[in-house]
Amino acid sequence: MELAVYNIDGKKTAKTVNLNDEIFGIEPNDHVIYLDVKQYLANKRQGTHKSKERNEVAGSTRKLRRQKGTGGARIGDIKAPTLRGGGRIFGPKPRDYSFKLNKKVKILARKSALTYKVKENNLMIIEDFSFEQPKTKQYISMLNNLSLSDKKSLLVIPDVDRNIILSARNLPKTSVVLASDLNTYQILDAQRILLVESSIEKIENTLLK
């Protein structure tokens, strides 16, 4: 698939890029996308939730009233789960939510997500650029030129560029990611993907192993 290359001024250049159909033109698999996103979100969970059970609540173990003859239900000590301030029955415990996913499944999920973005015309190629110094105003100007100021965008760069990363850091609707670190959740979460021209080769090297 052939796409035009734009510059940061929002103008179409004379260059075009041929995207590899093995990455950007496959038959999308929705189930592997679901699995990859599920794993990404599960791995982000801390799993530190905890509530006290009956044996962990501070309080006396004295039986509050006699077993029979009161006309009320039987009851044990003050830590009973049926009483206010008592322990909780089957409460949450610390646990690890992460789970394993095969590499081939994760690669297929990223290919499927990228294919969806291309089919929806939500992927744009921009030529290589850099800023002389970190400047949020310059990054905002680039988004305005590309008509992306009101959209959630993801810029994919080939290597670490401190000036670009710092320029975009304070903007709520945009994020920057290295091509080697690109994941399915980030692709789907963004309304528009901006691929820096030289990052395409990095993506191909990662997803065509």
pLDDT (tens digit, 0 to 9) for every residue of the chain, 209 residues total? 789 999 999 898 988 999 999 999 999 999 999 999 999 999 999 999 999 999 999 999 999 999 999 999 999 999 999 999 999 999 999 999 999 999 999 999 999 999 999 999 999 999 999 999 999 999 999 999 999 988 999 999 999 999 999 999 999 999 999 999 999 999 999 999 999 999 999 999 999 87
How far apart, in Å, are the Cα atoms of 186 and each of 37, 52, 58, 80? 9, 37, 46, 47
pTM (predicted TM-score): 0.84
For the chain, what is the domain count? 2
Q: Which residue has the tokens 């090297």?
A: 205
Query: Which residue segment(s) compose the domain that 71 sits in?
Result: 51-91
Do 200 and 160 fall into the same domain? yes
CATH number at residue 156: 3.40.1370.10
